[in-house]
Structure 1
């Protein structure tokens, strides 16, 4: 599978997952709104979301996949499967112990995640109970990530990318059944998390067996290879999860703000996550196996060329997503979420948070790409040192902005500090001689910048033109008007891209036909 096709596969399936996620969030907004139950559930959901990002999309994949790819390339399939079985057995043992400890310590964990909840015993107790229900997802998604990494390493990106779809389907089903069964929506959402995790794990085990990568569960042993894996994993958890840890800081501080603040940030982040997941995770997922092979082969020029192509993909799709969320946050939130228990005031507060979050979208995507180069080199300590600096910066910026801007300041802080993360990662790669923008990337960035200005102007103009239908029309009219705004702005952007030669259709088709071992030429 070519590099571009791998991005398209992961990005396309992730887009399907995010669309289903929006359906789930729309139902959650209507059934839960932004009250006490919603705030409690979103705090409880933050834990499995954190671990999904760290393991399914972050540290475990970043540590395990390069080791597995290197072993597969140098020692063969049998040795690679042996490594995977050693990792699986040790992981299961560790997760069982960790899950028991976390279950006993959950009140303490929730008090750290949402210190403001301690002033409301009912809300605190509900958040602890919901967290007990959702936490088993950690073990399930960790095993899912191991099998997904194996499949990605052998070029089968589809099954792992499709796994999150199951979570959304299960939770949508739960929300639709909540009313007929007379069960609170927050309970159905919470129980849906571990049920979906089990479905994801079974799905990946079946996919791995079909790919000839079925694993046996051995007796756990701390072998030298397992020691190396977990030595890479420990610092990588912080390095790969800097954005999620920043969100944890925001969630904690938001628990001290008026009721609804946690939910406003959560709903805004759901929209913010769309471009970050579809673009950032897709490019990072496709790039890591390629970079791992190039690093193992000592192909430094290939690494630099692959990073340039990854950044080009990211800019082509990440810049318009950023500008769109910054220019039309109100129509997006009002059309997608407003209604039922989710009031107009909730929509306005969420839109303000979304606009602030969007500032960090390009930085998150670029950081995902740059981090892949560190992980492919099996260097997790570099990103973790940078992550510590960024985390401290996020806390300081959050504390500085929370009083004047409230929940909007908490949305703005991770976006601002994400740019610090990019700068520090880039400096580290340049010092290693692994990062330099080729002529093609330099030439196209400014052209994309001009095209994205046109997209912003089109978004604002179409919003003004269709404001009546966007904000006061019937549900079909609002959805239709929003679709017209998005379609018109997108056509404007890509027309300008082709006109300014920021990208070429023939070039995209050519990239899709190339082998993933050979990145497209620089010019």
Structure 2
């Protein structure tokens, strides 16, 4: 498997997902702006999203993928299919029970995580929390399916799956809002519809590889399976790690809800833009590397293990550094061109620009975690990232005490970004000290060349964006988007031209997985 070609394929699918996601957010901003009701939606979605990461993308994936890779390699398709059946049954029934509890306990949940919401906005938040909690059941199945398909190296289908949720939200924001007495409720319904569409999309792919799970009416079926028990034991520390990060996020949400109307929303808009490079590079690389690292670990090939990590880290620096500088330099143009329509006014652009610039400071760390953490998960070592995550949770909240009084909402974003950099530094140190990763020769020269190219690119981007009045072009969206694309394309061309002049060639990053 050509890893660079596979990365390009996954990144292209992720790009479609992120573009439709930005369109979704743009339409949301146009319809609802930044208000107590948008804060209520963001907060109501926060807990189901947290649990999705807990039961799905976070703790479950970290424990599941290395073990299913081991089963596939050593025990054959029949044993692997039995494991998939049992794991899915336990996962679906567990998330269903949590979903019912969330629907019943919605008022208490909102009181705890969003003390700043009051009156009608609080009532709307309770209703939307209840509407969106069943989403986690759908997503637990989707993430299980994605883990199986990625192990079979069917990367494109899981990478495209999030597009369906975006399309659901786009459809509801354009056509269904008028049918709801409280218009923003349409977006909560869109979340669950999107979850069902994602489940339906994965089923034929699982069927093709003979891994479509059979569910049992017995919630306890499968708990006797040794493989399931291993996954649950591995999930214990992983749950703690993911919980630490998400608890920090919930604390930040509570703080933001007290910083004035619209604060939660502008933080979310900035977060969505930050997720664009994170998804295209960090998530895509992590998706490729985890099965390959798991296979190398199962086969005892330490040289291949280290080489895969070195390849991933070089690509990260090559692409994440310019992305971070670009987000910072073009923060106002990006926010204005994507969101400054309808109810999203110029003051909201200014409010969302500051947290986006703060996020950019930590983007490299956020992406590096996506590469470094799988190096531990593939070895079925989840405890080390757990200990680091707990320390980072404490450090992030201590930084909030300093940055929030000084910078407001931007202080929250800066604490998250710097916390991610601390996390990445400790993960890297752990890999080096244990001899898991040994950098290949040439890192210093590589890094200095990338920094030089990024510096030139950053100057071009800053000069280019200064030539336009981005909020003043609100009445001419096509021209504004065209101007933004021109600045981005020019900056990117300069960056890669400087790299080419310094001797970089695409073939230097070609790699095949064994």
The TM tier, using the shorter chain, reads over 0.9
How is 1:221-300 mapped onto 2 (pairs within 5 angstroms)? 221-223=222-224, 224-240=226-242, 243-300=245-302
Relative to structure 2, which stretch is displaced further, 403-412 or 258-267? 403-412
Distance across 2 between alignment mates of 1:44 and 1:216: 32
In the other structure, the counterpart of 1:507 is: 508
Partner of 1:465, secondary structure, is coil
In the other structure, the counterpart of 1:319 is: 321
Deviations 1:12-71 (A, max 9, x none): 111100100111111111100001111101111222333444455332111101000001
Distance across 2 between alignment mates of 1:493 and 1:127: 45
Contact 1:58 1:241 in 2 (8 A): no
Taking structure 2 as the reference length, the TM-score comes to 0.95
Distance across 1 between alignment mates of 2:196 and 2:474: 42
How is 1:9-408 mapped onto 2 (pairs within 5 angstroms)? 9-117=9-117, 120-181=118-179, 184-218=182-216, 219=218, 220-223=221-224, 224-240=226-242, 243-408=245-410
Deviations 1:56-92 (A, max 9, x none): 5332111101000001101111111111111111122
Contact 2:54 2:242 in 1 (8 A): yes
Deviations 1:255-302 (A, max 9, x none): 111101001101111101111111110000000000000111111121
Contact 1:470 1:482 in 2 (8 A): no
Partner of 1:439, secondary structure, is coil
Relative to structure 2, which stretch is displaced further, 278-287 or 470-479? 470-479
Contact 2:150 2:291 in 1 (8 A): yes
Contact 2:335 2:353 in 1 (8 A): yes
Deviations 1:123-182 (A, max 9, x none): 222111101111111111011111110010011001111110000000000000135536
Contact 2:461 2:491 in 1 (8 A): yes
**Offset of residue 359 of structure 1:** 1.0
Distance across 2 between alignment mates of 1:272 and 1:212: 37
In the other structure, the counterpart of 1:521 is: none
**Offset of residue 379 of structure 1:** 1.2
Distance across 2 between alignment mates of 1:246 and 1:455: 34
Distance across 2 between alignment mates of 1:180 and 1:103: 25
Distance across 2 between alignment mates of 1:168 and 1:237: 27
Q: 1:317 to 1:48 in 2, by over 3 A?
A: farther
**Offset of residue 245 of structure 1:** 4.2
The list of structure 1 runs, each at least 4 consecutive aligned residues, that deviate by more than 6 angstroms after superposition, is none
Give structure 1 stretches of 5+ with no counterpart.
Answer: 518-523
**Offset of residue 505 of structure 1:** 2.5
In the other structure, the counterpart of 1:479 is: 481
Distance across 1 between alignment mates of 2:170 and 2:243: 27
Contact 1:268 1:350 in 2 (8 A): yes
Contact 2:55 2:95 in 1 (8 A): no
Distance across 2 between alignment mates of 1:381 and 1:134: 31
Relative to structure 2, which stretch is displaced further, 22-31 or 240-249? 240-249
Deviations 1:371-403 (A, max 9, x none): 001110111111111111111111111122222
RMSD of aligned alpha carbons: 1.8
**Offset of residue 470 of structure 1:** 7.1
- Tell me if 1:6 matches 2:17: no
Contact 1:40 1:123 in 2 (8 A): yes
**Offset of residue 408 of structure 1:** 1.2
Partner of 1:116, secondary structure, is coil
